[in-house]
Structure 1
């Protein structure tokens, strides 16, 4: 074999490798473009969350000045997937309570789950905190709210979700859920007594959702 033949063979081999590489790139680009088109056509909507109710088992401020809060709630939170062709994986979801922008309970984890098309999931986790330190100005505000009989809380859920379109599953997205809960201690008719010192408040109100 002459030097010219070897050079020609090497050139053909490089040309074949380039063709294979470009074929792979074009193939991956077509797949990526197809996924984007499907995603744009389906237009996925955020899950719809509703705070159904909250049962208050304990809510006590202690200390002098009042700076320690012990509380225990059971909340009912529902989530509906409004999409016809897209499923939702809830990889992580943690629920907790906020008063005046301060977290007053520990985070309660909801087990990971998959939500199919148009499906509804209902969770009833307990959220609680024992002798949780609160800021001095929040302690004064909370003491005043208890005297007036009305306390406004935020029930929040933070987590990670993934979307499922056919066989394709997206990466993880951060989910933020915010629900307002009005605890009316001053009006016995606002809730239903369900046990010793336990009062159930019904809301059935929509929450704000960000993804």
Structure 2
């Protein structure tokens, strides 16, 4: 702020100033005071802005309502009829509320399907087991039996290229011990004679039907040729001197089982016979010393 102090010393100092300068000073002094005041007000407003508060909104007062008077009171029965008003109905329309169902979980559905699948699979196994037990008790199935009765060699020669040509005739006996089961021997059978891991000759069984408790004699013709048989013949000579030549006869034959009038699916019989013979000479009687045959089947 701008202050002016008038004292005797100041008055003496002013008197010394020329009247022209004093008149100029007095002329511009109010303007200087006005400009200085406005500049100070503007700076104060810029540094400290003043926010005008908004007028507060006053909530409207609730409308007066008629007081509720309990039924049966003296005021309700004998009060001023002009001041009495009908009581509002306490009954309200209630909307039915249905609780929200929880969302179904996919995991629970998968577990349920898995449980049903396991139950059905277990039930199927039980039914198959019951059916197999009934079939076994009614038909009492037994595996057929086989044996090699005789063997004849019509050709057993070493060729000039060191190959061995062999021709065998083998008599096999097939027995069906079942009372109510028949066996159909289908095409596609294979029979072979082996000596120490070497296939000497091959053949096949004929197609036929074997009835209940039937015994069938089979004559099988086998032929074959073995390459580089020089060492093989030497082994045969050594075993012939011992009087014991080991042979293996392997048979694979597809069959169908007949239960009463029902013809089942195709199975496969696997037959393996281990023999010991005294010689493998051409056109000579061959004595079979050991004869053990094992049968198994597969689907």
Q: TM-score, normalised by structure 2?
A: 0.49
Does residue 198 of the first structure (1) align with residue 284 of the second (2)?
yes
In structure 2, C-alpha distance between the alignment counterparts of 1:205 and 1:143, rounded to whole Å: 22
SS in 2 for 1:141: helix
The aligned runs of 1:129-208 (5 Å cut-off) are 129-130=224-225, 132-133=226-227, 138=232, 141-142=235-236, 144-146=238-240, 148=242, 150-185=244-279, 197-202=283-288, 205-208=291-294
Q: RCO higher in 1 or 2 (8 Å CA, sep ≥ 6)?
A: 1
Name the residue aligned to 1:54.
Answer: 151
Aligned residues of 2:186 and 2:253 also touching (Cα < 8 A): yes
Instruction: Structure 2: state its 5+ residue gaps.
Output: 1-123
1:133-174 alpha-carbon deviations (Å, 9 max, x no partner): 268875653454355554211122211111111122221112
More strand by share: 1
Count of aligned residue pairs for this structure pair: 170
1:81-103 alpha-carbon deviations (Å, 9 max, x no partner): 01111111111332221111332
Aligned residues of 2:166 and 2:201 also touching (Cα < 8 A): yes
In structure 1, C-alpha distance between the alignment counterparts of 2:228 and 2:276, rounded to whole Å: 19
Q: Bigger radius of gyration, 1 or 2?
A: 2
In structure 2, C-alpha distance between the alignment counterparts of 1:170 and 1:113, rounded to whole Å: 16
Does residue 90 of the first structure (1) align with residue 185 of the second (2)?
yes
Name the residue aligned to 2:223.
Answer: 128
Instruction: Structure 1: state its 5+ residue gaps.
Output: 1-28, 189-195
